[in-house]
Structure 1
Amino acid sequence: MAETVLKAEHLSKSFISGNKRFTAVDDVSFNLKQGECLGIVGESGSGKSTIAKMITCLEDVARGQIFLRNQEITKAKGKALRNIYQDIQMVFQNPAESFDPRHTLGDGIGESLRNMGMNRKETKERVEQLLEKCGLDKEFSQRYPHQVSGGQCQRAAIARALAVKPSILICDEATSALDVTVQKQILELLIELKHNENLTVLFISHDLALVQAFCDHVMVLNGGKMVEYGTTEQVIDHPKTDYTRTLIESVL
């Protein structure tokens, strides 16, 4: 039986906007096993990205706990947090914004390698290998974010995420800013990498069609609450809630 690598228990998070408090995530729990892909779906504002940010410690957890291979990481800081980033990496919605526009893509991809003590020659070779693994020619290491297309930049962002050889990849709407043809290409790349690298993937999307093509299990969020959870086949073919049925009808 596959090992549970990531576990969230009763996650909750609220924000204050003006004079009002709203709940972004409300008592959400799930497990993610090694090699599995879990899709988190829901409309904008349903809490999907907040969950990703809590897992990667970009947002504090108000209530609940997060475990990485049975070690609690809910409030990790300093060295413990750096160790987490060796194991968990995230690919964001807008790849160009995740790179420093003053530096080349190669610099961005190689930053974590240099921080690990890899010398310049080894870093250059590793960056070129990562680019080619993600479907880009090695000369892309010399280009700046504004000099490449959205799809090419997202491939570079995936290469950067893979640089530290993580076991868990979080894709936060990683295809939503791309046109349909490029979405398909990036999804095919992610499927290939998941298989070849034995990656565990948390795939956050509002598009159930993409989730159906990629994910083993699906969690449906509505207003911060988990309203449905099951295998992709169960959720897509036999939805239990009107909300899930509406999501399915809108894209499938």
Structure 2
Amino acid sequence: MTENKNILEVHHLKKSFTTGKKSFTAVEDISFSLKTGEVLGIVGESGSGKSTVAKMITHLTEPTAGEIFLMEKDITHARGKNLREIYREMQMIFQTPAESFDPRCTLGDGIGESLRNMGISKKETRNRVEKLLLTCGLTPEYADRYPHQVSGGECQRAAIARALAVEPRVLICDEATSALDVTVQKQIMELLQKLKKENQLSFLFICHDLALVQLFCDRVIVMHDGHVEEEGTPEEIIEHPKTEYTEQLIRSVL
């Protein structure tokens, strides 16, 4: 796959929710692409539809309309075996890592689950889990700890290790640093930068912190009320916003 080839494409994605007799459209006609090795940021105020887009791409919620392509394959309505194959190529890192782990299981169990599901032996899984923990800045002993026994930053490092276990091509970060303090946030961003450089990963980076977006992203999409307000490089968006909404968004956070 060439560097400039699209690894992920979203075409006219829409999501509507119905409660009783009321219908609400959270995402309306969203289209974008993500290239191999690229970091695409998605920004916008709370309720703009950012997380809903991520959930549709990762099949945590079903699109109302539109199409999703991963490595040129239509994955919009993937199920069963096809869905498992998708998760080998694409993984998600959540905002609250402790909630994404089973509290009854150790971090090592959580990180190694996908490897065991692939038929890898218990011993080899343990070896890989320990290497992943080291890659993410944790010692192998963390494999035996439970989510409640570690800090938020440590748990997020373990969550990143879990996402990397299947050697995905795409990482989707949904506010992956927003629950962390500034020092830990900096450490996690340094880890993501390292992974991007060493593994040629592609990132969909959903974030409300424009300073992080400017530091990490190659391109940025601004979302407002479920649609794309504008798109460009971080410098274009922050220094030369095209719409009044983007100007207000930048003023509110910078």
TM-score, normalised on structure 1? Answer: 0.98
Pick closer, same or farther for the CA change 1:149–1:228 going to 2, 3 Å.
same
Alignment of 1:211 onto 2:216: no
Partner of 1:25: 27
Cα distance, 1:240 vs structure 2: 0.6
State which of 105, 108, 128 in structure 2 corresponds to 1:106: 108
1:95·1:157 contact (CA, 8 Å) conserved in 2?
yes
Q: Distance in 1 between matches of 2:70 and 2:102?
A: 29
Q: Distance in 1 between matches of 2:79 and 2:65?
A: 17
Cα RMSD of the aligned pairs, angstroms, is 0.9
Partner of 2:146: 144
Cα distance, 1:251 vs structure 2: 2.2
Q: Secondary structure at the match of 2:53?
A: helix
Aligned length: 252
Q: Distance in 2 between matches of 1:69 and 1:137?
A: 34
Supply the AA of the counterpart residue of 1:56: T
Deviations 1:144-188 (A, max 9, x none): 000000000000000000000000000001011111111111111
Supply the AA of the counterpart residue of 1:106: G
Q: Distance in 2 between matches of 1:243 and 1:185?
A: 31
Partner of 2:176: 174
Partner of 2:74: 72
Q: Distance in 1 between matches of 2:143 and 2:180?
A: 21
Alignment of 1:51 onto 2:64: no
Partner of 1:42: 44
Alignment of 1:11 onto 2:43: no
Alignment of 1:94 onto 2:96: yes
Q: Distance in 2 between matches of 1:245 and 1:180?
A: 25
Supply the AA of the counterpart residue of 1:11: L
Supply the AA of the counterpart residue of 2:118: M
Partner of 2:160: 158
TM-score, normalised on structure 2? Answer: 0.97
State which of 176, 193, 196 in structure 1 corresponds to 2:195: 193
State which of 177, 183, 186 in structure 1 corresponds to 2:185: 183
Q: Secondary structure at the match of 2:82?
A: helix
Supply the AA of the counterpart residue of 1:173: E
Q: Secondary structure at the match of 1:29?
A: strand
Gaps of 5+ in 1: none
Cα distance, 1:18 vs structure 2: 4.8
Q: Secondary structure at the match of 1:7?
A: strand
1:208·1:247 contact (CA, 8 Å) conserved in 2?
no
Gaps of 5+ in 2: none
Q: Secondary structure at the match of 2:133?
A: helix
Supply the AA of the counterpart residue of 1:158: I
Cα distance, 1:125 vs structure 2: 0.7
Q: Distance in 1 between matches of 2:252 and 2:190?
A: 23
